Amino acid sequence: MISGLRPGRLPHPGTVLVWSVPLAICAVFAWMLGDILLHGLDHLSFSFLIEEPRKSGRAGGIGPILVATCLIVTICLTVSLPISLGAAVLLSEFLRHADRSGRAIRISLDMLAGIPSIVFGIVGNAVFCRFFGFGYSIMAGGLTLACMVLPVLIRTTEQAIGDVPEAYRLGAVALGFSKLRTIRRILIPIAAPSILVGALLAVGRSFAETAALLFTSGYVDRMPSSLGDPGRALSIHILDLAMNIPGGDAAAYGSALVLIGLLFFINGAIQCITLVWRRTAGLTAAI
Partner 1 sequence: MISSKSSSTFRFVDRISKAEPWEDRLLRMILWPAGVLAGTVSLAIVLVITIEAGPGLGEIGVVRLLADPSWHPANGRFNLLPIIVDTVLVAALATSLAAAAGILSAIFCTSFAPRMLATCFTRMIELLAGIPSVVFGLWGMTVLVPAVAALAPPGPSLLAATLVLTLMILPTVTLVATSSLSRVPASLLIGGKALGLSAWSIATKIALPAARRGIATGVVLALGRALGETMAVLMVSGNIVQIPGSLFDPIRTLPATIALEIPYAEGLHRASLFVCALVLMAIVLTTVCFIELFQPESARD
Partner 2 sequence: MMGRAVPAQRRCRGLALSVGVFLAALIAPAVRADDKLLLTGSSTVAPLAAEIAKRYESLHPGVRVDVQMGGSARGVTDIRHGLADIGMVSRALKADEADLTAYTIAFDGVTMIVNKVNPITTLTEEQIVAIYTGKIREWSAVGPGKGQIVIENKAEGRSTLELFLDHFKLSSPEIKADVVVGDNEEALKFVSVSPNALGYVSIGGAVYAADSGVPIKALPLDGVEPTIEAVATRKFPILRELNLVLARPPEGRVKDFINYAQSGEVYDLVKELFYVPIR
* Chain residues that interact with partner 2, rule: CB under 8 A: 55-56, 130, 134-137, 139, 214-215, 218-222, 225-230, 240, 242-248
* Chain centre distance of CA 129: 23
Q: Which is nearer to partner 1, 167 or 225 (CB)?
A: 167
Q: Which of 45, 74, 41, 54 is nearest to 241 (CA)?
A: 54
Interacting residues with partner 1 between 70 and 89 (CB under 8 A): 82-87, 89
Q: Which residues of 188-227 are buried (b: 16+ CB within 10 A; e: fewer)?
A: bbbbbbebbebbbebbebbbebbbbbbbbbbeebeebeeb
Site for partner 1 contains 192 (CB under 8 A)? no
Binding partner 1 (rule: CB under 8 A), the pick from 28, 41, 59, 281 is 28
- H helices, E strands: number in the chain: 12, 2
Q: Which is nearer to partner 2, 130 or 279 (CB)?
A: 130
Q: How far apart are CA 226 and CA 87, in angstroms?
A: 30
Interacting residues with partner 1 between 132 and 191 (CB under 8 A): 147, 150-152, 154-156, 159-160, 162-166, 169-170, 173, 178-181, 183
Q: Which is nearer to partner 1, 92 or 137 (CB)?
A: 92
Site for partner 1 contains 21 (CB under 8 A)? yes
Binding partner 1 (rule: CB under 8 A), the pick from 27, 29, 50, 223 is 29
Shortest approach of partner 2 to residue 169 CB, angstroms? 22
Shortest approach of partner 1 to residue 181 CB, angstroms? 7
Q: How far apart are CA 44 and CA 155, in angstroms?
A: 38
- Residues in contact with partner 1, counted by CB under 8 A, come to a total of 107
Length of the chain: 287
Q: Which is nearer to partner 1, 7 or 225 (CB)?
A: 7
Interacting residues with partner 1 between 202 and 261 (CB under 8 A): 203-205, 207-211, 234-235, 238-239, 242-243, 252, 256, 259-260
Q: Which does 227 bind (CB under 5 to 8 A by kind): partner 2, partner 1, none?
A: partner 2
Q: Which does 244 bind (CB under 5 to 8 A by kind): partner 1, partner 2, none?
A: partner 2
Q: DSSP label at 170?
A: H
Report the half-sphere exposure of 209 (CA within 13 A, side-chain side). 33
Helix 234-243 to helix 63-89 angle (10° resolution) is 130
Interacting residues with partner 1 between 38 and 67 (CB under 8 A): none
Q: Which is nearer to partner 1, 5 or 223 (CB)?
A: 5
Instruction: Could you list the beta-strand ranges (E) of the chain.
Output: 53-54, 59-60
Q: Which does 170 bind (CB under 5 to 8 A by kind): partner 2, partner 1, none?
A: partner 1
Q: How far apart are CA 285 and CA 34, in angstroms?
A: 34
Q: How far apart are CA 197 and CA 193, in angstroms?
A: 7
Termini Cα distance of the chain:
24
In 10 A of CB 12, how many CB atoms? 12
Shortest approach of partner 1 to residue 160 CB, angstroms? 7
Shortest approach of partner 1 to residue 117 CB, angstroms? 6
Q: Which is nearer to partner 1, 70 or 122 (CB)?
A: 122
| SS3 category, 54 | strand
